[in-house]
Structure 1
Amino acid sequence: MTPICKTLAAAALIAVAGAAPALADDLAKIKSEGVMHALTTGNDRPNVMMDASGKPVGYEVDMCNLIADKLGVKLDLGVLAWEGLLPSITSGRTQMICSGVNITPARQEVFDFSVPYSRTAIVAMVPETNTDVSGPTDIAGKIVGAPIGADGDDVVREIGGYKELKVYPGVAEQFADFVAGRIEVAIVGDKQAAEFMKSRPGIAKIVGKPYKVNLVGYPLPKGSTEMKAALDKIISDARSDGTLNAMAKTSFNLDDYDAALPPIGEDAPLKK
């Protein structure tokens, strides 16, 4: 993202944060009501997806269920498009986002974040027969597809040089266009790419090294000291006793998933 785009993105987040009073420290309210209200996209396979009955499932849902269970409350999980998730925190519409929010400099200015509980590696996926794309930065003159957000179209715009950029609300739509040949390069998370290649063997491959690896945490209104402390303890305990890695193994078939995260109990580094 260019410096101007970064400034605009930060300004947009700050404007959203100021549009309505943020409800900091919802912990007491959650416990008194016995319910934790949360939202997810349901459209970020394999992090979160909709099952045959229309119910969100996956690692993100498993983590939110764990948090609700440890808090001794029920999880009320709704579905909303990605672009509405962060505003739902600042407006008080919801208390948690179960959709893998990357910890970015602009977001750190607006939100408090829990300690990281997940991560996202951004890679380039191309057709199996492709021989002229060597990695995520090698997209000059190409038709590129990416999901909306900091790990999708923002990355592509930052790299630049592409012929055309197609932006999607989620990976399902992105992969449909990939299969149809409407995009030449898919910029996407490594977990999503691996899941797709497993389900459609022989048609795609990942090329080069990841463009970047982002840490993922739960965004909270600024000043949410008690809620952050509660989330940090639950996440840290889940890492210490192996629960987090076990859930990641089930969802992603990856071993030692938390190895790329900061030491247990430590926040993501402040970025500038």
Structure 2
Amino acid sequence: MGVTTVTSSRWIALAALALTCSTPALAKDWKTVSVAMEGSYAPWNQTDPSGKIVGFEVDILNDVCARAKLECNIVAQDWDGVIPGLTAGKFDIVMDGMSITEERMKTIDFSIPYASSPVAFLADKNGPLANLSNSGKMIDLSKDDAESEAALDTLRKELTGKNVGLQVSTTEATFADKYLKDVANVHEYKTTDEHDLDLMAGRIDVAFADT
């Protein structure tokens, strides 16, 4: 498996329901907090053989909760249900490799970012897409310059007619909807594990995910 083209970095933060200053919940004396994670987004969070959710974000959460003297309980929640579950009050916080976007900030609020993660197209190192033209290079989509535009145009041409796998309701899905849906066959999955399996089985040509 090889990284072929890195696109852009994304800031990751805790997410919580956006509350106004007049909301009574702000006055709550917090002792216990429920935190949603999908448990299938390694290395951020994943489920071990015993059924326990572990990973980088669990380690961060444990440290934060100890410092804040809070009892934090992890709630397993599928990715496509984390925001609906948060707004419905099923849990207090989401900690699941979630990018800060303007669209999400219309509904929920975010903490200060605790990580920055690039996203990339991943291909079989022995496959036909192992050596894309911009392999190993960063394309910064925040820069509206000729170099980035040219790299994006090249990427679109090389992925024309190819099968691209990504997780549903992610920033990768937003990117694909904007730049790839008219040239590539985009396949959405509930988890990154699912598109990784299809990539290894040859059912998709590239996977698009965090690195």
Contact persistence 1:144–1:162 (CA under 8 A): no
Residue in structure 1 matched with residue 139 of structure 2 by the alignment: none
2:170 to 140, 145, 150: 150
Residue in structure 2 matched with residue 226 of structure 1 by the alignment: none
Which structure carries more relative contact order (alpha carbon 8 Å, separation 6+)? 2
Percent identical pairs in the alignment equals 25
Please say if 1:134 is aligned against 2:133. yes
Deviations 1:96-130 (A, max 9, x none): 11212110111122222211111221111111123
2:196 to 170, 175, 182: 175
After TM superposition, list the pairs within 5 Å mapping 1:98-247 onto structure 2.
98-132=95-129, 133-135=132-134, 137=156, 138-160=158-180, 161-190=182-211
Could you tell me how far apart the structure 1 residues matched to 2:48 and 2:23 are? 33
Q: TM-score, normalised by structure 2?
A: 0.71
Q: 1:134 to 1:126 in 2, by over 3 A?
A: farther
Residue in structure 1 matched with residue 92 of structure 2 by the alignment: 95
- Cα RMSD (Å) of the superposition? 2.5
Higher strand share: 2
* DSSP-derived class of the 1:165 partner: strand
Question: Displacement of 1:83 after TM fit?
Answer: 1.3
Deviations 1:141-196 (A, max 9, x none): 10111111233322222222444211111111111101110000111111xxxxxx
Deviations 1:208-262 (A, max 9, x none): xxxxxxxxxxxxxxxxxxxxxxxxxxxxxxxxxxxxxxxxxxxxxxxxxxxxxxx
5+ residue gaps, structure 1, are 1-16, 191-272
Residue in structure 1 matched with residue 77 of structure 2 by the alignment: 80
Q: TM-score, normalised by structure 1?
A: 0.56
* DSSP-derived class of the 1:144 partner: strand
Greater shift in the superposed pair: 112-121 or 174-183: 112-121
Please say if 1:71 is aligned against 2:71. no
The one-letter code matched in structure 1 to 2:106 is E
Question: Displacement of 1:24 after TM fit?
Answer: 5.4
How many equivalent pairs are there?
A: 169
Contact persistence 2:75–2:91 (CA under 8 A): no
Contact persistence 1:144–1:184 (CA under 8 A): yes
The one-letter code matched in structure 1 to 2:195 is Q
